[in-house]
């Protein structure tokens, strides 16, 4: 197992030369999931990639407006395709202090009652405790299959194979404590401010959380298979409230750092 872990390390760009950055400034990296040819989950007339981007852009503007001495770096600010490794590279090269990946959840087409499945959840890196969390990570990681030579690039990591996920159990992420604090603040705010059902803070093996060398969370705003949730997430008011919720967690993170 140790050998497997060591073999996988070179593909993670944690040792890349850091760009000079203003040491007094905190850098928040926002990662709107998917983009371009990678649509993410699509249902009820909505594309996940568009919801993720709309909320991330609002959040970026709020952070710039309300927080002094904070830089925001976006992995993408338009409808372009990026690999998971490229997202992690952007975050690591920017020497980010916090990485926040924004997504929309879905459940298997065969799941009964999926149209009424609802709620927000925020993930930190870890080994899934149940099959539901595992499925979310598998779906989000499966975007690497869009890359032709993903098996070489990701050192044999196969998003659809259970055994690939052992690496996340072994990764004692240095920043897990802070990641959990940010995840809890974001989760609570999505319930209080955005009125989302509370699905709690969870752990699962998301490649992009593993490859970033900073506190990192992955937000699942709500479910695209639920028509009411889609209506909310694609409305101006919904985008605003979701962005405000995530802003609250970022504000608390910045307060802890100052």
Residues forming contacts to Zn ion in the complex (CB under 5 A) are: 33, 40, 103, 140
Nearest CB to Zn ion, comparing residues 62 and 224 = 224
**What DSSP character marks residue 19?**
P
Nearest CB to Zn ion, comparing residues 84 and 249 = 84
Count Cβ atoms within 10 A of the Cβ of residue 244 and give its class: 0-12 exposed, 13-18 middle, 19 or more buried: middle
The minimum distance between CB 140 and Zn ion, in angstroms, equals: 5
| Nearest position to Zn ion, beta carbon | 103
Nearest CB to Zn ion, comparing residues 40 and 96 = 40
Nearest CB to Zn ion, comparing residues 33 and 96 = 33
The minimum distance between CB 66 and Zn ion, in angstroms, equals: 27
Q: Judge contact between 196 and 222, C-beta under 8 A.
A: yes
Nearest CB to Zn ion, comparing residues 140 and 178 = 140
The minimum distance between CB 253 and Zn ion, in angstroms, equals: 22
The minimum distance between CB 138 and Zn ion, in angstroms, equals: 11
Neighbours of 252 (CB within 10 A): 16
Non-local (6+) Cβ contacts of 226 within 8 A are: 44, 114, 115, 116, 117, 118
The minimum distance between CB 34 and Zn ion, in angstroms, equals: 6
In angstroms, the CA 198 to CA 188 distance is: 8
In angstroms, the CA 239 to CA 237 distance is: 6
């Amino acid at each position: 197992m140790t050998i497997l872990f060591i073999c996988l390390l070179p593909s993670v760009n944690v040792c890349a030369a850091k760009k000079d950055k203003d040491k007094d400034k905190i850098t928040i990296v926002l990662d709107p999931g998917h983009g371009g040819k990678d649509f993410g989950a699509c249902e009820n007339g909505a594309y996940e990639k568009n919801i993720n981007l709309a909320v991330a852009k609002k959040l970026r503007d709020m952070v710039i407006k309300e927080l002094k001495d904070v830089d925001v770096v976006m992995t993408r600010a338009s409808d372009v395709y990026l690999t998971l490794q490229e997202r992690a590279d952007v975050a690591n090269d920017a020497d980010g202090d916090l990485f926040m990946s924004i997504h929309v959840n879905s459940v298997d087409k065969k799941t009964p009652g999926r149209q009424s499945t609802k709620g927000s959840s925020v993930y930190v890196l870890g080994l899934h405790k149940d099959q539901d969390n595992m499925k979310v990570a598998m779906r989000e990681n499966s975007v690497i299959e869009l890359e032709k030579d993903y098996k070489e690039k990701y050192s044999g990591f196969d998003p659809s194979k259970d055994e690939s996920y052992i690496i996340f159990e072994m990764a004692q992420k240095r920043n897990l404590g802070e990641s959990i604090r940010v995840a809890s603040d974001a989760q609570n705010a999505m319930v209080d401010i955005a009125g989302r059902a509370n699905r709690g803070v969870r752990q699962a093996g998301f490649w992009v959380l593993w490859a970033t060398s900073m506190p990192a969370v992955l937000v699942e705003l709500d479910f695209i298979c639920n028509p009411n949730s889609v209506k909310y997430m694609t409305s101006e008011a919904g985008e605003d409230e979701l962005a405000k919720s995530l802003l609250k967690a970022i504000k608390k993170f910045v307060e802890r750092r100052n």
